[in-house]
Amino acid sequence: MNYTDDQLEAIADTFDTVGYLVCGSDLVFTTETVADFIAKWGTPAEKEGFYMWTDIQTRKGATRGDLVVTEFDGQTVTYFTGQA
């Protein structure tokens, strides 16, 4: 689904509720489900429909960060503070 810049910013604003100041361009939409992320990263912290993993490393040598995942409009939306 294609979103306008205003719509992306509105989605990004929802991440504020769990303490992440995000811009729409920082979001990644994926076909992976929350269950897929849980299978890969383990049990997350949950708050207000957001699933959060802290201090994860996506690959050896990459900068660690927090992964935040939520579902929006039938899609999975992610934000990662580290190096992908």
The confidence score (pLDDT) of residue 14 equals: 94
The confidence score (pLDDT) of residue 64 equals: 97
- pLDDT category of residue 6 using cuts at 50, 70 and 90: very high
Indicate the pTM of the whole model: 0.91
Distances (CA, A) of 11 to 17, 39, 61, 62, 64: 11, 25, 31, 27, 24
Task: State mean pLDDT over 13-30.
Answer: 95
Residues in the chain: 84
